[in-house]
Structure 1
Amino acid sequence: MFKPVLKLFKSLKFNYLALFILLIASFGLFALMHGNVKQETYELHEFKISPKTIRSLKTVEDTVKTEQEKRRIESEVPPFYQFNEDISKNRQAIASSLFDFIIKEKEANVPVADEDIEKPVKSRSEQVKNVRKELTKLEEDEPGLRLTDEAIASLLTGEVSRLEKMKNEIVKIIGEELSKPVRSGDISSARYEVERKLRLSEAIPPAELQTLITLGRSLVVETETVNQALTDKRIEEEKNAVEPTRILQGQVIVREGQFIDAEIYRQLELTGLLTNQSSSKPIIGLIIYVFFVMMIIYLHFITWVEDSYKKKKSLLIVIAIFFILVSIMKLLSLIDKEFDVQVAFLFPTALAPLLVKLLTNERMAYMMTIVTAATAGIMLLEGFSAIMQMEIALYILFGGILSIYILGNNGRRSNILRTSLAVAASNVLFIVFYLQMTQTTYDLSELLFYIIAAITSGILSGALTIGLMPFFESFFGMLSDMRLIELSNPNHPLLKKVLTETPGTYHHSVMVANLADAACESVGANGLLARVGSYYHDIGKTVRPNFFIENQHGSVNPHDELPPEKSRDIIIAHAVDGAELLAKHKMPPEIVDIARQHHGTSFLKFFYVKAKEMGQDVVEDDFRYPGPKPQTKEIAIISIADSVEAAVRSMKEPTPEKIANLVKSIIGGKLNDGQFDECDLSVKELKKIENVICETLNGIFHSRIEYPD
């Protein structure tokens, strides 16, 4: 059933498969997160009683209240008055001109003493008529300035000198009053003051007093008027300075049992809390977020230089882990409503990076830590956070990054547990930071909960990692450090088989494991994989144990009785037999590959020379292993360690110089033979491997003290 699916899985191009998987994952992630970002609404009606206390889920501007406040400010802004000193001069000039007209007419009607000149004397009515004619234009410009004919006639009866005195007096009094700011509301008091001063003046005859009072009162006008442009500017500035009235996030709009009046209902509508107002904005935002997450994962994988099949498996692992984490977030978000504390702090902060690093690589672990933290910040919202619960996001981010550093390259259970304890300590430190920054008073039970939650989060990270690892390894055929450690147990059935049936091979394999492990660590390869692979690399020898020199223990060598071709086939077969035996026992592919490739296409020179000496017509290629050549650094290093260990063991009285020359010769020979052509070992790394192997062998084959008999 699974074989066709696996075949299709391997045949598809990574880019197409990744897009398809991420598209399916997008729908799943959207479904899980949808309920957490969807705004809660209520079915409420105006003029009814609220069944519960409702708070605003967001901060919004109340435009109605803001506009009301602006109108209030506009009504309270005082007008901008501007004093015009020219008005006083103009009113004085009007008073002066009026008297000048009268004085001019008065002087024009004075009789001439010279008898030779006959000058007709105008009647009073003619004089009044002339003065009225002069005043007509002045009265048009000043509608309030109205002198009756009787008043003009009365003034014409006076002497010119007396008229001059009256003119000077009224001009002075008008000038005094209008030199001060006079607003529209002050006109009555200003006119009263002018009248009072005229009544007290000795320059005004009683007969003309009323006429001058009427004239004086009519000359009083505003000297300080409203500058509408400046007033409008001031009103605009005051309105712009008004802070918008906002309904704040978390603000109580209506309390349980409170009557929902028109104003409360309007605020509920404004904040979108009514059932008929469900907004599509959070859904659109969630779609964009899911797109961002999947795009980051996709870009991360297509820029990862790795075998396509391994990338496909790693993508499935990352998606599976991500959905496990999101499911935990969903569960926490559902139960969080039942508690007054933030249950979200129970989330295993280091689960994502630990699993991803152990099953893929460190680069992937960093990416998943960031994505997990951001997703948790959205899903584990507490209270009335606008977009993201930042403290939860930082909590997961810091704990996750710390776990990556502390775990290092050691995936043993003990190291995972030690990492989880360090994460727990980090979580507690973050909780202390969080409690200090909130500046909120917590009781003892709340403090204990947060501390216990932080410790639980760290320990859960390690426990769930150890618990979930076997499932991922089994389902995806992954080889983790924990699995390798299990395979290195001497009680493993296959290792017992090697130990009991081929003890010489077992000893050889242990020696090869020590050399390969040390050499791999020197060049950044997986030393644990090389060690465990070395334990199983010669398991094919258990099929015909006596045909291999290390298992003969001084007995007759069966190859002495066999033709070179038969011996060749038996020796070569141990690589193929070992790979088949390991595959039959469902061992990890990496271990099977080590058994199959550790000899590459090496040349069996001993049996080739033997055949030549027997006079047979043979070709070199017939005496080579079928391969393939080592495909990884680990297999190439095991092939070196395998050859070196066997060669050094056969040396008599090995010395550091002999060992160094032998190791150099073997590595050089394999390099020249093209055995490293298909793996990514560099010449520089081969030199490091050479030095480490020599140091390790010198420690094993050191000189010993000769004890006396």
Structure 2
Amino acid sequence: MGKHYKKIMEMISFRTLLIIVLIFTGLLQFLLMLGNVRGTTYDIQAFQLAPETIRAVKTVEDTVKTEQERDHAEESIEPVYVYNEETAKHRVALVNSLFDIVSDVRTEVKGKDAEASIDNQITQLRNKLKEITDSQSQLIFTNSQLQSLMTVSDASIHNAMKIVSDLVETTLSDAIRIEEINLKRNEIETKIRQAPNLDVEILNAVIVIGRAAIIETETLDETKTKELIHKAREEVEPTRILQGQIIVQEGELINREVYRQLELLGLLNNQATIKPVVGLAIFVLLQMSFLYILFIRSKMELTKKRNAVLVTVIVYAMSIILMKLLGQLTDQFDVTIAFLYPTALATMLVRLLANERAATLVTVLTAASAGVMFHEGYAAVLQMDIALYIIFGGLASIFFMRSIEKRSHLLKACGVVSIVNIAFIGFYLLMSQSDYGLSEQLFYGVAGITSGIVSGALTMGLLPFFESAFGILSTMKLIELSNPNHPLLKKLLTETPGTYHHSVMVANLAEAACEAIGADGLLARVGCYYHDLGKTKRPAFFIENQMSGINPHDSLPPERSAEIIIAHTTDGAKLLESYKMPKEIIDIALQHHGTSTLKFFLHKAKEEGKDIEEKAFMYPGPKPQTKEAAVISIADSVEAAVRSMKQPNAEKIQKLVYSIIQGRVQENQFDECDVSIKELKKIEVVLCETLNGIFHSRIEYPKDE
């Protein structure tokens, strides 16, 4: 991938990229399929006679009638109200609090503020009442009303409080709804005016308090009411117009209701370009939604996921274009030339470049699209024979492409697809119950074989372009990178033959272990070939390349030796990047030592009594991020350790492998990858078995005398 492409991808979030790509793909598909959508319509108007008997061509819900029935059901529901028994107590307490405040202020005035003017007394009382009056919108006192409360006798105040409290409690003991509040306030005002022994001077103030105390005691329970309404609406069965149902008989008057049903079914000429368009839009939207869900839930690494999205939509769009071109020739032949369509093309490409789940979904989506684009006749919505043809061919390729390690395996998959195609065509010819001539039968047979072969040929031809454009590491690419003639492998062999041999041995171990736990064995093998490429920068500093027996580390301080050894991971990554190697291979070169410590040189530095920082003797990492990297890190250490072991046997090898794995676990080297303890045990077993096969005991032949 180019630098500009990488920059653009980094600037856009994955969700945004996915939405943009799917919008363009859906729009392209919609435009290409628009001409394939047809339907039977009638040029008729309301209140004319039906030219023929018209039946419903599909089952649809009569939403107007259904909604009318649901509205009637909703109207029959009575609102649910809830009475609050505590309201009366709270409002009586409010009334008492008001009069208590008045009494307290009156007491203060009679005491220390006896000389205060009436205006100051009113201000003092208003301030005391402020907290309550601010929370009660109806509780508004004039200065004259407050003055009356300050000047009447204590007996008048206590009498007024008793009268208002009793009236409020009595009034609020009944259910009062919001629409009844004004009526109840007027009623309590009347009762206050008629109350005996109430001091006339404070009548208006008491009325304000009494009216403000009246609020609703019965409130609408919106939740329960909505539940009843929802239940009533849900219990109404949808009204449907059934497929085949007679809408109007020939010669009958087309009234408003009949005309509405014809309009609902999309049988009028003025709807000829609307209903199919909307239906096609829904169809495309549904397909794009499945692709969105597939990729938004994918747990692949971000770069791989972006590439998978772009590859999938490009291959899918390419398939739609190919269908369109093939569909243009349909009317020129008496046979169904749609059977020439390469059924497994999209499936194979997506399987090799993305993953199996995406390939399966693309197979279904391609088949559904083909059903629309190749459909024939006005009554048909999908050409099911073509749709099933593509599904069977695509799924066959998936089942027989689970292990693609050679191009010949791809060719075998194409052969299987051709056989499945022919089998399905045989089913089609027999089920259609039509008499086909020899030439037609021969055409269909050749079409099935051609479809399979073209699927493979186009896949092999297009695969390198996709790999190059998106930097995708496919199985075919891995096979290409494993070729010993690759420039980097030649460099490794000629400059560091010991490292090359070590890498090949590690590759054998890692591949076997990865296959045992379901990881990518081929990726592990190829990654091992390149994982120690950084050693080519300073070959003599690594023991497997020291043919002369001279170790340059003997004359170097331990921290300098550690620096050189540690650098081989980053040096290798830089060299791989300069050759534009896949990211997965570069990651293995960086991660195969994780953040482990060079204990030999660390111990040597400590023995020399140096004040050293332990971090200087640790690899920079990162820790293994994948199962393949984790397996390679174990296999790398195991192979080097066993090779240096004197007279290895099964017991020694088993103890060594176990100790190395446990050491990695205790150092938390596998915290960032999803390898489990159970898988580590499998890796241990496989490594031991493989090493025992390599370092088996040999028969000691007698020496010649």
TM-score calculated relative to the size of structure 1: 0.67
CA distance in 2, matches of 1:244, 1:401: 46
State the partner residue of 1:671: 665
In angstroms, what is the RMSD of aligned CA positions? Answer: 2.6
Equivalent in 403, 416, 420 of residue 422 of structure 1: 416
CA distance in 2, matches of 1:244, 1:528: 68
CA distance in 2, matches of 1:339, 1:407: 34
1:545, distance to aligned residue in structure 2 (A): 1.0
CA distance in 2, matches of 1:483, 1:417: 17
1:342, distance to aligned residue in structure 2 (A): 0.9
Larger radius of gyration: 1
AA aligned to 2:607 is E
CA contact (8 A) 2:539 2:545 kept: yes
CA contact (8 A) 2:40 2:378 kept: no
CA distance in 2, matches of 1:339, 1:241: 36
State the partner residue of 1:37: 37
Write out per-residue CA displacement over residues 392-445 of structure 1, whole angstroms, 9 at most, x where no aligned residue.
000001111121111113253111111110010000000100000111111111
State the partner residue of 1:585: 579
State the partner residue of 1:387: 381
Equivalent in 502, 510, 523 of residue 508 of structure 1: 502
> Would the alpha carbon gap of residues 413 and 245 (structure 1) be closer, same or farther in structure 2, given more than 3 Å must change?
farther
AA aligned to 1:480 is S
CA distance in 1, matches of 2:349, 2:318: 11
Write out per-residue CA displacement over residues 461-515 of structure 1, whole angstroms, 9 at most, x where no aligned residue.
1111111111111111110000000000111111111111111111100000000
CA contact (8 A) 1:411 1:480 kept: no
State the partner residue of 2:482: 488
Give runs of aligned pairs for residues 298-697 of structure 1, distance below 5 A: 298-384=292-378, 386-697=380-691
State the partner residue of 1:64: 51
CA contact (8 A) 1:381 1:388 kept: yes
CA contact (8 A) 1:10 1:309 kept: no
AA aligned to 1:372 is T
CA distance in 2, matches of 1:312, 1:243: 51
> Would the alpha carbon gap of residues 438 and 614 (structure 1) be closer, same or farther in structure 2, given more than 3 Å must change?
same
Give runs of aligned pairs for residues 74-473 of structure 1, distance below 5 A: 278-384=272-378, 386-473=380-467
1:271, distance to aligned residue in structure 2 (A): 11
CA contact (8 A) 1:406 1:419 kept: yes
Aligned to 2:564, the other structure's residue is in SS state: helix
CA contact (8 A) 2:558 2:604 kept: yes
1:305, distance to aligned residue in structure 2 (A): 2.4
> Would the alpha carbon gap of residues 65 and 39 (structure 1) be closer, same or farther in structure 2, given more than 3 Å must change?
closer
CA contact (8 A) 2:40 2:267 kept: no
CA distance in 1, matches of 2:672, 2:389: 45
> Would the alpha carbon gap of residues 558 and 439 (structure 1) be closer, same or farther in structure 2, given more than 3 Å must change?
same
CA distance in 1, matches of 2:655, 2:362: 48
Aligned to 2:300, the other structure's residue is in SS state: coil
State the partner residue of 2:6: 6
CA distance in 1, matches of 2:352, 2:449: 22
CA distance in 2, matches of 1:318, 1:463: 19
Extract structure 1 runs of 4+ deviating beyond 4 A: 38-42, 240-246, 270-274
AA aligned to 1:701 is F
> Would the alpha carbon gap of residues 449 and 560 (structure 1) be closer, same or farther in structure 2, given more than 3 Å must change?
same
Write out per-residue CA displacement over residues 543-586 of structure 1, whole angstroms, 9 at most, x where no aligned residue.
11111111112431111112212211111111111100010001
CA contact (8 A) 1:355 1:469 kept: yes
1:243, distance to aligned residue in structure 2 (A): 11
CA contact (8 A) 1:499 1:506 kept: yes
CA distance in 2, matches of 1:14, 1:700: 47
CA contact (8 A) 2:39 2:378 kept: no
TM-score calculated relative to the size of structure 2: 0.67
CA distance in 1, matches of 2:328, 2:472: 33
AA aligned to 2:14 is F
CA contact (8 A) 1:34 1:283 kept: yes
> Would the alpha carbon gap of residues 40 and 448 (structure 1) be closer, same or farther in structure 2, given more than 3 Å must change?
farther
Aligned to 1:648, the other structure's residue is in SS state: helix
Write out per-residue CA displacement over residues 664-706 of structure 1, whole angstroms, 9 at most, x where no aligned residue.
0001001111111111111111111111111111111111111
1:12, distance to aligned residue in structure 2 (A): 3.0
CA distance in 1, matches of 2:581, 2:249: 70
> Would the alpha carbon gap of residues 352 and 515 (structure 1) be closer, same or farther in structure 2, given more than 3 Å must change?
same
> Would the alpha carbon gap of residues 40 and 335 (structure 1) be closer, same or farther in structure 2, given more than 3 Å must change?
farther
Matched, 1:23 2:17: no
Identity of aligned residues (%): 59
CA contact (8 A) 1:358 1:411 kept: no
Count of residues in Structure 1 that have an aligned counterpart in Structure 2: 495
Aligned to 2:31, the other structure's residue is in SS state: helix
Aligned to 2:396, the other structure's residue is in SS state: helix
CA distance in 2, matches of 1:519, 1:271: 62
- Greater CA drift, 4-13 or 515-524: 4-13
Write out per-residue CA displacement over residues 180-216 of structure 1, whole angstroms, 9 at most, x where no aligned residue.
xxxxxxxxxxxxxxxxxxxxxxxxxxxxxxxxxxxxx
> Would the alpha carbon gap of residues 661 and 271 (structure 1) be closer, same or farther in structure 2, given more than 3 Å must change?
closer
AA aligned to 1:644 is V
CA distance in 2, matches of 1:328, 1:499: 47
CA contact (8 A) 1:39 1:279 kept: no
CA distance in 1, matches of 2:402, 2:631: 22
1:542, distance to aligned residue in structure 2 (A): 0.9
> Would the alpha carbon gap of residues 487 and 241 (structure 1) be closer, same or farther in structure 2, given more than 3 Å must change?
closer
CA distance in 2, matches of 1:389, 1:278: 21
CA distance in 1, matches of 2:391, 2:700: 61
CA distance in 1, matches of 2:504, 2:678: 26
CA contact (8 A) 1:648 1:659 kept: yes
Aligned to 1:424, the other structure's residue is in SS state: helix
